[in-house]
Amino acid sequence: MIEREQVLHVAKLSRLRLDEDEVSRLEGELSSILEHVDRLAEIDIEGVEPTSHVVPLENVLRDDVPRPSLDRDLALSQAPDPHDGAFRVPSPQAEG
Amino acid sequence: MSDTDLIAATAAGTAALIRDRQVSPEECLEAWLERTAADDLNGYLWRADGESATNGVDGKADSPVAGVPVAIKDIFCTAGVPTTAASKILEGYRPPYSATAVRKLADAGMPMLGKTNMDEFAMGSSNENSAYGPALNPWDRSRVPGGSSGGSAAVVAGGLAPWALGTDTGGSIRQPAALCGIVGLKPTYGSISRYGMIAFASSLDQCGPLTQDVTDAALLLSQLQGRDEMDSTSTGIEGGVALPSAEDLTGMRFGIPSDLIGEGVDPGVKAVFDRTVARIEELGGTVSEIVLPHAGHGISAYYVLAPAEASTNLSRYDGVRYGIRDSNADLTSMYEVTRGDGFGPEVKRRIMLGTYALSSGYYDAYYGRAQRVRTMIVRDFDAAFVDVDFVITPTSPSVAFGLGEKTTDPLTMYLNDLFTVPMSLAGIPAISIPAGMAAPEGGGSEMPVGFQIAAPAFGEQKLLEASFALEKAINFDPSGGRVR
Amino acid sequence: MSQELEAVIGLEIHVQLATETKMFCGCRLSFGDEPNTHTCPVCLAHPGTLPVPNRKAIEYALLIAAALECEVAPRSIFHRKNYFYPDSPKAYQISQYDIPIAGAGKLGDVRIHRAHLEEDAAKMIHVGESGRIQGSNASLVDFNRGGTPLVEIVTEPDLTSGAQVREWGQLLRATIKQLGVSDVNMEEGSLRCDANVSVRPVGSKELGTKTEMKNMNSFRFIERGIEAEVTRQKELIASGGKVVQETLHFDPSTGELHSLRSKEEAHDYRYLPEPDLVAIAPSAEMLVAARDALPELPAARAARYRDELGVQESAALLLSFETDWAAFFEGVISEDDSIEPRVAANWVTGEFSAELRKQDQALESSKVTPASLANLVGLVSSKRVSHSSAKTVLESMVADGADPLVIVEEQGLEQISDSGELETIVKAAIENNPKPAEQVRSGNEKAIGALVGAVMKETKGRADGGEVTRLLREHLGL
């Protein structure tokens, strides 16, 4: 139902590195779940609006009044690689 | 008073003891910390000591719960205190802020006993998806406590906390409550702020109490509910919540969705359900059959919508600003290796499923369609609540299963949520109360069975009243779960 | 046989809103402050955090919609646009997808397709080990900017040249500036403009393959960049090639176009409705308030100046783009009914503006008031002071803020109105400059300039040039 190529593509979209075992396993598991989920196709949804929110709210807004920001040290305290007051990350892959 | 008496008291009872000065908040906390130290259920991922338990807690709070300690599911951000959502990807993470629900309880004077175990990112029905080992069912340690709020259920049932906070997305409070023989309430979506509650599926997640009895559930709910300016989907419960006092069920109408309760239910569970229905009638309630034509598709809709929302909610775990980072080779590797290492198999499965459902070309067939089926389930309940005040089902199709029993096939695990998922999709409140005991299908000593009651949106008060009266009549004995 | 090709251009403009706080959290907006000093758990996307929309940002968006005559959606929602990049902490941007707050509208002769609200990304600085940008192997992320409210405006592909893009872009900027909702400063990044460029045979209704041009930070560069790209596409097609969809950057210093290669294929953004936010349903009151809050916008003002007041087109445009200059101009004409608005506008946008520039002064701090400039213009119109003398007076006015009449008297700049006196000087000039006089008499009318100059010199510029010329011609027998 879901092919290996699709599994690899979805893993890429999700930024998940999977080993070979995981890929084969997921192929089977996702297929079986999707098969069950495909029962949804049996239902006649003609004219039915989608529900994005069960809450009947609208216009919940915040006044444009400043709130205290985090102390920078606290903001960086959980960073894996803080550097010079910023969050350091590796650069995108070099062109290959 | 003896520690044993203190530990045996309900949360409301404990609050009264403190209020009447029969015990001091300090003595109370000390007694409970001794209990948490005896945790052999792997219920706690982090336990507080005397100091950290009261950090940020208003010792002078004049509230109906002042001094009563509480256990917090590790999905809630607690400032400066480890918060992992039972995932490796948040190993070592100490949030710079606390969840609104946590803050409210601290402001009400409640010390925190610790952070409880759970299925990773709330994805699971057995607590076996935790990166830190499963929590165990205190009634039988070879069995699961349910999930995802397995740790919270285990510690309350095991007498390692007077009550606990949990979260429910598709049944994650109700199902573990049922499997552990305690009360678990999922309030109306929007009743309690989600700010600081690590998101799994935003349109379904709700915070709720796991307690020894219905009165405690009402008490904890009254402290938690309310509109929060940090959560634009929160409404609170208009009029608040009062402690229930109903003596019987006269005039209340209960509906059984027979089309939903099919052959998947264990005979032992069905027997307890039927006995409880008889009790309802004895108490003056009327029971009838109703139909929820699309609720049977709830699992399918849920396992599209929840993973889809989860796939985007979990994208922020990328190794940039917090949590682990397992590669610095280049940007792509940082993302892929960190996330590949940091997430467990169930989480990866759901992220993949969700990403697939949202990806180009598949949105209408999956996500779009599931949202429409959700609308139909909402309408099913609306129609049912014209004829009845409550919808009743077994909470779970089976009693607590053995560790490792259902882990080979994800779909088998998902089907545990059959009865709880429709209420989550509709956003309506539902409670599970312990209704009796039953032997597991594969053999073994009897395990608790839960009874689920659902009400219309914001019908918490009536729900609590009905549950209160029924609970009294059932008179469930929780002692089999208490850790010695 | 080559067909003639025409350019088809559409624009995507991002406007950073000048609110106090970010789009979805209460952090202040920052301007060049230390990195990561305006962040909070929400804009750092910590686990469990939730967005709450800024009311002012919605109001500003409605104001923009009103100014662009856009249809406002009775109910619009936010969507998540998913992509992984360090400047996007949630790995999704909260934006609007198929139900934006504003729909079709127009500004000038360009139709607006839609306008919507979204949040800005954080800032990334690429650094190498040595701190240089080349050979960068790490980046630093500063989340101060992350979460700043943006309105994205998308036009229909109605533009046809780089020049038109520059003119219309300047009109859009002036319009939004006058709403007071943004600094719209392209160098600072509060206004960003990307262009989608394609060509097609003249008369065709189909659209050719388009390229996207980004990262140009002035309308002049955009104009040149578009012209370069249009030329490139035309030449490519003429030589039998095909335009490939890509993103380009124009380097104004070299005039070259570079492809911004992205390593990934076209993004699959996996849009879904934002479950953490409820719908925006602008009330009738909010819409009325937006319309009522609209100041007179540049297009309307220019038209009013031109059609009702008779101001020259170029002056009308200049004034309409700058509110304080327009206010000054209107101040001048309100002082004195007899002053022709056309004349006043020319003085304001011409001599006055030039003199301020020359003395390195700004309008807001200038000592010259609309009343005093009106006086000066009145003196010229009533021929009490010559145009060139008036320029001298203006110089003193700008320098010291003195009263024009006082300056005229002090410096003896009053125009010679006595035609007898003037006639004497004219006759003398003819006598003293026989050569040019002879040239004029024999048909070289241009030579009269020298004679005019001589008279002006003698009168120290106090004579009315027109009258001098008339008298010269008379006495030269023309």
Residue A19, chain C, CB below 8 Å: the answer is no
With a cut of 80, say whether residue B1 has pLDDT above it: no
- pTM of the predicted model as reported, rounded to 2 decimal places: 0.91
CA distance C196 to chain B (A): 23
User: At C42, is the secondary structure helix, strand, or coil?
Assistant: coil
* Range of the structural domain that residue C87 is part of: 5-290
Helices within B225-257 (DSSP H only): none
**Measuring CA to CA, which residue among C300, C64, C323, C282 is closest to residue C182?**
C64
Given C37, C261, C281, which is nearest A69 (Cβ)?
C37
C-alpha of B451 from chain center: 15
Using only the alpha carbons of chain C, give its radius of gyration: 30
**Which contiguous run of DSSP H or E holds residue B103?**
helix B100-107
Residue of A nearest to C267 (CA): A13
Name the percent of chain B lying above pLDDT 90: 94
- ∠ CA C200-C206-C209 to the nearest 5 degrees? 60
Which chain A residues are closer than 8 Å to C126 by Cβ? 91
The pLDDT value recorded for residue B280 is: 98
Q: Can you tell me the distance from the alpha carbon of B45 to that of B114, in angstroms, rounded to the nearest whole number?
A: 8
Q: Can you tell me the distance from the alpha carbon of C299 to that of C105, in angstroms, rounded to the nearest whole number?
A: 14
Q: Which letter does DSSP use for residue B478 in this model?
A: G
What pLDDT tens digit does each residue of chain C (478 aa) get? 457 999 999 999 999 999 999 999 999 998 889 999 999 999 999 999 999 999 999 999 999 999 999 999 999 999 999 999 999 999 999 999 999 999 999 999 999 999 999 999 999 988 765 554 455 689 999 999 999 999 999 999 999 999 999 999 999 999 999 999 999 999 999 999 999 999 999 999 999 999 999 988 899 999 999 999 999 999 999 999 999 989 999 998 998 999 886 544 568 999 999 999 999 999 999 999 999 999 999 999 999 999 999 999 999 999 999 888 999 999 999 998 889 999 999 999 999 999 999 999 999 889 999 999 999 999 988 888 888 889 989 999 999 888 888 888 888 788 776 778 888 888 888 889 888 888 888 888 888 888 888 888 888 777 777 888 888 888 888 7
Residue C94 backbone dihedrals phi, psi, to 5 degrees = -85, 120
Q: Which letter does DSSP use for residue B199 in this model?
A: -
Identify the sign of the CA torsion C155, C161, C165, C167. negative
Cβ contact (<8 Å) for B365 and A87? no
Residue C28, chain A, CB below 8 Å: the answer is yes
**Measuring CA to CA, which residue among B199, B200, B197, B157 is closest to residue B177?**
B157
Q: Which domains does chain B have, with CATH numbers?
A: 3-224 (3.90.1300.10), 253-297+379-481 (3.90.1300.10), 301-364 (no CATH)
**Measuring CA to CA, which residue among C398, C357, C361 is closest to residue C376?**
C398
Q: How many C-beta neighbours within 10 Å does residue C168 have? A: 20
Cβ contact (<8 Å) for A37 and B304? yes
Residue A13, chain C, CB below 8 Å: the answer is yes
**Measuring CA to CA, which residue among B437, B394, B445 is closest to residue B274?**
B394
CA distance A80 to chain C (A): 13
Contacts of C316-322 with C-beta under 8 Å, sequence gap 24+, read C316/C345, C318/C349, C319/C345, C319/C348, C319/C349, C320/C174, C321/C170, C321/C171, C321/C174, C322/C174
CA distance C43 to chain B (A): 11
Q: Give pLDDT tens digits for B93-110.
A: 999 999 999 999 999 999
Give helix then strand counts, H and E, for chain C: 16, 13
Domain assignment present for A16: yes
Domain assignment present for A77: no
Residue C198 backbone dihedrals phi, psi, to 5 degrees = -145, 170
Residue of A nearest to B227 (CA): A60
Q: Can you tell me the distance from the alpha carbon of B343 to that of B352, in angstroms, rounded to the nearest whole number?
A: 12
Q: Can you tell me the distance from the alpha carbon of C149 to that of C121, in angstroms, rounded to the nearest whole number?
A: 10
Domain assignment present for A48: no
Domain assignment present for A55: no
Which chain A residues are closer than 8 Å to B191 by Cβ? none
Tell me, yes or no, whether C128 and C232 share the same domain: yes
The pLDDT value recorded for residue C111 is: 98
List of chains touching C (3+ CB pairs within 8 A): A, B
User: At B317, is the secondary structure helix, strand, or coil?
Assistant: coil
Q: If you average pLDDT over every residue of chain B, what do you get? A: 96
* Pairing between β-strand A86-90 and β-strand C138-142 as defined by DSSP bridges: antiparallel
SS (H, E, C) B34-73: HHHHCCCCCCEEEECCHHHHHCCCCCCCCCCCCCCCEEEE
How many structural domains does chain C have?
Answer: 3
Q: Give pLDDT tens digits for B43-64.
A: 999 999 999 999 999 999 999 9
Please enumerate in sequence order all residues whose Cβ is within 8 A of that of C304, keeping only pairs 6 or more positions apart, or say none: C296
CA distance A11 to chain C (A): 13
Cβ contact (<8 Å) for C52 and B199? no
Q: Give pLDDT tens digits for B120-166.
A: 999 999 999 999 999 999 999 999 999 999 999 999 999 999 999 99
What is the residue type of A67? R
Using only the alpha carbons of chain A, give its radius of gyration: 23
Question: Going along C256-305, which residue ranges are E strands?
Answer: 256-259, 272-273
Q: Can you tell me the distance from the alpha carbon of C261 to that of C254, in angstroms, rounded to the nearest whole number?
A: 19
Task: Count Cβ atoms within 10 A of the Cβ of residue B472 and give its class: 0-12 exposed, 13-18 middle, 19 or more buried.
Answer: middle
Domain assignment present for A4: yes
Tell me, yes or no, whether C358 and C308 share the same domain: yes
**Measuring CA to CA, which residue among C152, C143, C139, C153 is closest to residue C121?**
C143
Q: Can you tell me the distance from the alpha carbon of B425 to that of B419, in angstroms, rounded to the nearest whole number?
A: 11
Q: Label residues C422-460 b or e (16+ Cβ within 10 Å = b).
A: beebbeebbeebeebbebbeeeeeebbeebbebbbebbe
Given B297, B355, B409, which is nearest A40 (Cβ)?
B297
Tell me, yes or no, whether C250 and C332 share the same domain: no
Q: Can you tell me the distance from the alpha carbon of B149 to that of B168, in angstroms, rounded to the nearest whole number?
A: 8
The pLDDT value recorded for residue C323 is: 86
**Which contiguous run of DSSP H or E holds residue B332?**
helix B331-342
Q: How many Å from the N-terminal Cα to the C-terminal Cα in chain A? A: 34
Residue C25, chain A, CB below 8 Å: the answer is yes
Cβ contact (<8 Å) for A57 and B311? no
User: At B420, is the secondary structure helix, strand, or coil?
Assistant: coil
- ∠ CA C54-C55-C57 to the nearest 5 degrees? 70
Q: Which of B9-18, B229-238, C256-265 shows the lowest mean pLDDT across its residues?
A: C256-265
CA distance A20 to chain C (A): 23
- ∠ CA C396-C397-C401 to the nearest 5 degrees? 120
Q: How confident is the model at residue B262 (pLDDT cuts 50, 70, 90)?
A: confident
Beta carbons of B195 and B79 less than 8 angstroms apart: no
DSSP C355-393: HHHHTT--GGG-S--HHHHHHHHHHHHTTSS-HHHHHHH
Residue C57, chain A, CB below 8 Å: the answer is yes
Among candidate residues C236, C261, C290, the one where a domain is terminated: C290
**Measuring CA to CA, which residue among C227, C249, C102, C223 is closest to residue C170?**
C223
Tell me, yes or no, whether C231 and C305 share the same domain: no
Q: Give pLDDT tens digits for A29-56.
A: 999 999 999 999 999 999 999 998 888 8
Q: How confident is the model at residue A91 (pLDDT cuts 50, 70, 90)?
A: confident
CA distance B203 to chain A (A): 6
CA distance B224 to chain C (A): 17
Residue tagged 């125009």 (tokens): C415
Comparing C278 with A95, the larger pLDDT belongs to C278
Q: What does the CA dihedral C371, C375, C377, C378 come to, rounded to 10 degrees? A: 130
Catalytic residues of B, by residue number, are 73, 148, 172
CATH, residue A13? 1.10.20.60
Which chain B residues are closer than 8 Å to A22 by Cβ? 345, 348
How many structural domains does chain A have?
Answer: 1
Q: Can you tell me the distance from the alpha carbon of B352 to that of B401, in angstroms, rounded to the nearest whole number?
A: 27
Q: How many CA atoms lie within 13 A of A40 on its CB side?
A: 28
Q: What would the two tokens of residue B404 be?
A: 């490792």
The pLDDT value recorded for residue C468 is: 86
Residue of C nearest to B364 (CA): C272
Domain assignment present for A10: yes
User: At C200, is the secondary structure helix, strand, or coil?
Assistant: strand
Task: Count Cβ atoms within 10 A of the Cβ of residue C54 and give its class: 0-12 exposed, 13-18 middle, 19 or more buried.
Answer: buried
Using only the alpha carbons of chain B, give its radius of gyration: 21
Q: Can you tell me the distance from the alpha carbon of B466 to that of C332, in angstroms, rounded to the nearest whole number?
A: 80
Which chain C residues are closer than 8 Å to A90 by Cβ? 137-139
Q: Can you tell me the distance from the alpha carbon of B303 to that of C96, in angstroms, rounded to the nearest whole number?
A: 26
Tell me, yes or no, whether C387 and C274 share the same domain: no
Which chain A residues are closer than 8 Å to C52 by Cβ? 60-62
Cβ contact (<8 Å) for B330 and A90? yes
Question: Could you give the C-alpha distances from C358 to B31, C364, C394, C399, in angstroms and in order?
Answer: 84, 16, 12, 11
Q: What would the two tokens of residue B453 be?
A: 């009651």
Identify the contact set of chain B against chain C, taking CB-CB distances under 8 A.
Answer: 76-77, 83, 85, 90, 93, 95-97, 99, 194-199, 201-203, 229-233, 308-309, 312, 315-318, 320-322, 331, 335, 355, 358-360, 363, 367
Q: Give pLDDT tens digits for B63-104.
A: 999 999 999 999 999 999 999 999 999 999 999 999 999 999
Q: Can you tell me the distance from the alpha carbon of C150 to that of C192, in angstroms, rounded to the nearest whole number?
A: 10
List of chains touching A (3+ CB pairs within 8 A): B, C
Question: Could you give the C-alpha distances from B347 to B122, B127, B372, B452, C408, in angstroms and in order?
Answer: 9, 13, 25, 27, 86
Q: Can you tell me the distance from the alpha carbon of C151 to that of C70, in angstroms, rounded to the nearest whole number?
A: 13
User: At C175, is the secondary structure helix, strand, or coil?
Assistant: helix
Which chain A residues are closer than 8 Å to B318 by Cβ? 15
Tell me, yes or no, whether C401 and C434 share the same domain: no
Which chain B residues are closer than 8 Å to A15 by Cβ? 315, 318, 332, 335-336, 339
Which chain B residues are closer than 8 Å to A49 by Cβ? 372, 375
CATH, residue C425? 1.10.10.410
> Residue B148, preceding bond cis, omega within 30 degrees?
yes
Q: Can you tell me the distance from the alpha carbon of B359 to that of B110, in angstroms, rounded to the nearest whole number?
A: 45
Q: Which of A70, A71, A77, A95 to mutate to test the interface with C (most CBs of C within 10 A)?
A: A70
Tell me, yes or no, whether C230 and C357 share the same domain: no
* Range of the structural domain that residue A25 is part of: 1-42
